[in-house]
Amino acid sequence: MSGLDPKHIGRFFLLIFLQGFFLVNAALFDGLAIPFLYVFIILKLPVDINRVLLLVICFISGLSVDLFYHTLGLHAAACVLMGFIRPGILNALQPRDGYDAGASIGISSMGFGWFFIYSVALIFAHHFYLFFLEIFSFSYIPRTLLKVFLSTAYTFILILLVHLIFSKRR
């Protein structure tokens, strides 16, 4: 089981800082596309991380963003859901030979197609749960679904840019 190394801790603080101070006002299309770059913290955790540690990190990540957005646990709940379903998605996408011990998640190690499916599935689940929990009604289903899809695309594009900028060239 893998733990955390300094780069994961640094990524946590950097992404929470960026989310709380810069991306809080980066919505597009009259609030229909909202970027949540901080979910990259969860996406980049090691494949074999302890599940309890994973859920704790998810909760702390979401709660940290809740402090900036004044959302009283909505992000914490969505992140815990993301952490809960992550092992299932990793299992569904597992290569024939399995994952290497301590395998890192990224385009260079897993390929773009794998990274796309993995990231979009988790981002979509996070956003779907977050926005429907936020609205707490099925009266606005079309608008909320549009918000989920646009925000998922916006978030993935930002994550892809950050990942490509900061990934090591081989």
The span from the CA of 106 to the CA of 113, in Å, is 11
The answer to whether residue 63 is domain-embedded is: yes
pTM for the predicted model, two decimal places: 0.93
**Given this model, what pLDDT does residue 3 score?**
63
The answer to whether residue 1 is domain-embedded is: no
Closest CA to 75 of 146, 33, 126: 126
Cβ 79 vs Cβ 39: under 8 Å: yes
The answer to whether residue 130 is domain-embedded is: yes
The answer to whether residue 133 is domain-embedded is: yes
* Bridge partner list, 49: 2
Phi, psi of 38 (to 5 degrees): -60, -20
Structural domains of the chain, count: 1
Cβ 51 vs Cβ 38: under 8 Å: no
Question: Which residue segment(s) compose the domain that 107 sits in?
Answer: 6-92+99-166
**Given this model, what pLDDT does residue 20 score?**
94
The span from the CA of 65 to the CA of 16, in Å, is 7
Tell me which residues of the chain have a pLDDT lower than 50: 1, 170
